[in-house]
Amino acid sequence: MWAATLPAGAPSGGIYAALVLALLVAVFAVVGVKATQQPAPQAQRQGGRRRRGKGGTAGVAASGAADDADLATPLLAAEEGANGDAARSTDGAAHGQASDGPAPGGHTADSPTEIVVVGAAPAATTLGTPQAAAPGIPYSELAVGVPRESAPGERRVPLTPAGAAALLKAGFQAVVVERGAGAAANFAYAAAGATLGGREEAFGQAVVLKIHAPGVADEVPLMRPGAVLVSFIYPSQHSELVQALAARRLTVVGMDCIPRTISRAQTFDALSSMANIAGYRAIVEAAGAFGRFFTGQITAAGRVPPAKVLVVGGGGAGLAAVGAAHSMGAIVRVFDTRAAVAEQAKSLGAEFLTVSVEESGDGSGGYAKEMSKEFVEAEMALFREQARDVDIIITTALMPGKRAPVLITRDMVESMKKAA
């Protein structure tokens, strides 16, 4: 759903609209705007797949499958019940955890937010028991807002003109785009049928699409109570923002919380897509700043050795950086706490570095876990040694829900070669 906007000639993104539709179907089926469901027996035969109800109403088939619960985790619901009590919550970065509160529509007052599981049957439901259907909201009564990103230098937009046209074709009331959004990519939203408006108009729609999490002071107050926000959020790092969203009873789809290990969720994995771009871009930026050939050269003036690149972290961004650096002729070394990365790094032509301390870094969901003190000391010693030898260091290590660890220290940088 997220489109990196290039200066010109950026490809159209019809697939992004499909992602928006699928996400909205999931959201409106569960929180605030309840959608029509099939009776449970038929829904179970459907395997929990999302579908549209008759008349353009969002719908979701109920299922108790475990992977449905995992897939629903990104839905961070910050809504209040009809009696005004705040709904129960857990952190949006926790994967596969269903809310222990009542089914959608019930109320508790323990905490202001809750994780709502899409497609999971209520605890009291017996498999095969028909469920009571709740009325849905037709697409024709929903409008989508696309504000312009306010972060300095940000050129991305969450929806392309082709995506806007697809939403309108699906029956949505309107797509309101703030003037200036997508200008860096020469996107013409008006020609696709979207409505151009001001900042308040874009933020004031029933569904708001963003790249960066909204500002607590200047953007959250512009959103209507009970609206749906689709954006990168990082809830465990922005507790104040989560509370502000909860106070306005917003439903938030955290794009950074989507589990990448579930095949049906990979279509929505915008975080990995952005990581891939970031890893490639890091090498391009480094090559420009390095000022020397990446590949070795033998000329009449003498021999130029190839550049040596160290990539710390072998996730999506790290492997993208490895592939880009190797394709440019550099000698690439990779370090990661997960043994599974070794084979991937070697397949891309890189050398995989290890430490003397034997400890697995494999965590849940394919992500890395926190390592022991002994392992951290050993890897820091390795980085200190490598810093004196390599020309470029790319750091991509990250654990979900936490700030990136500081692995390259000031003394390591100061020990690097001149022009490194």
Q: Are 257 and 73 in contact (CB under 8 A)?
A: yes
CA 56/CA 31 separation, integer angstroms: 18
**Which of 111, 266, 347, 360 is flagged as catalytic?**
266
Give the active site residue among 269, 273, 327, 362: 269
What's the confidence (pLDDT) of residue 87? 36
pTM of the predicted structure, to 2 decimals:
0.65
Rounded to whole angstroms, the Cα distance separating 75 from 117 reads 7
Q: What is the pLDDT of residue 370?
A: 80
- Where does the pLDDT of residue 339 fall: very low under 50, low under 70, confident under 90, or very high at 90 and above? confident
User: 3-class secondary structure for the chain?
Assistant: CCECCCCCCCCCCHHHHHHHHHHHHHHHCCCCCCCECCCHHHHHHCCCCEEECHHHEEEECCCCCHHHHHHHCCEEECCECCCCCECCCCCCCCCCCCCCCCCECECCCCCCCEECCCCCCCCCCCCCCCCCCCCCCEHHHCEEEECCCCCCCCCCECCCHHHHHHHHHCCCCEEEEECCCCHHHCCCCHHHCCEEECHHHHHCCCEEECCCCCCCCCCHHHCCCCCEEEECCCHHHCHHHHHHHHHCCCEEEEHHHCCCCCHHHHHHCHHHHHHHHHHHHHHHHHHHHHCCCCCCEEECCEEECCCEEEEECCCHHHHHHHHHHHHCCCEEEEECCCCHHHHHHHHCCCEEECCCCCCCCECHHHCECCCCHHHHHHHHHHHHHHHCCCCEEEECCCCCCCCCCCCCCHHHHHHCCCCC
Q: Is residue 367 annotated as a catalytic residue, yes or no? A: yes
pLDDT tens digits for range 179-204:
999 988 889 999 999 999 999 999 99
Q: What pLDDT sits at residue 204?
A: 95
The pLDDT assigned to 269 comes to 87
Report d(CA 372, CA 277) in Å as an integer. 31
Domains of the chain: 14-268 (3.40.50.720), 270-415 (3.40.50.720)
How many Cβ atoms sit within 10 Å of the Cβ of residue 276? 17
Query: Per-residue pLDDT tens for 345-387?
Result: 999 999 999 998 888 877 766 677 788 889 999 999 999 999 9
Give me 100's structure tokens.
Answer: 């222990």
Q: Which of residues 112 and 389 earns the better pLDDT score?
A: 389
Query: Which of 122-126, 218-222, 340-344 bottoms out in mean pLDDT, i.e. has the lowest?
Result: 122-126
Query: What values do phi and psi take at 303, rounded to 5?
Result: -100, 135
pLDDT band at 85 (very low <50, low <70, confident <90, very high): very low
Classify residue 86 by its DSSP letter: B
Residue 237: pLDDT band (50, 70, 90) is: confident
Kindly name the residue from 237, 272, 327, 415 that is annotated as catalytic: 272
Is residue 269 annotated as a catalytic residue, yes or no? yes
Query: Which of the two residues, 7 and 155, has the higher pLDDT score?
Result: 155
Active site residue 173: no
pLDDT class of 103 with cuts at 50, 70, 90: very low
Tell me: pLDDT of 241 over 90: yes
Active site residue 16: no
pLDDT at residue number 82: 35
The per-residue pLDDT for range 205-218, each reduced to its tens digit, is 999 999 999 999 99
Task: Give residue 131's pLDDT.
Answer: 52
Residue 123 has pLDDT above 80, yes or no: no
When mean pLDDT is compared across 30-34, 228-232, 343-347, the lowest value belongs to: 30-34
CB–CB of 63/120 below 8 Å?
Answer: yes
In the structure, what pLDDT confidence band is assigned to residue 132 with cuts at 50, 70 and 90? low
The whole-number average pLDDT for the span 236-264 is 89
Q: What confidence category does residue 419 fall into, taking pLDDT thresholds of 50, 70 and 90?
A: confident
**What's residue 24's pLDDT?**
55
Share of the chain above pLDDT 90, in %: 46
Catalytic residue, from 139, 189, 234, 367: name it.
367
Residue of 52, 249, 260, 333 marked catalytic: 260
Catalytic-residue membership of 205: no
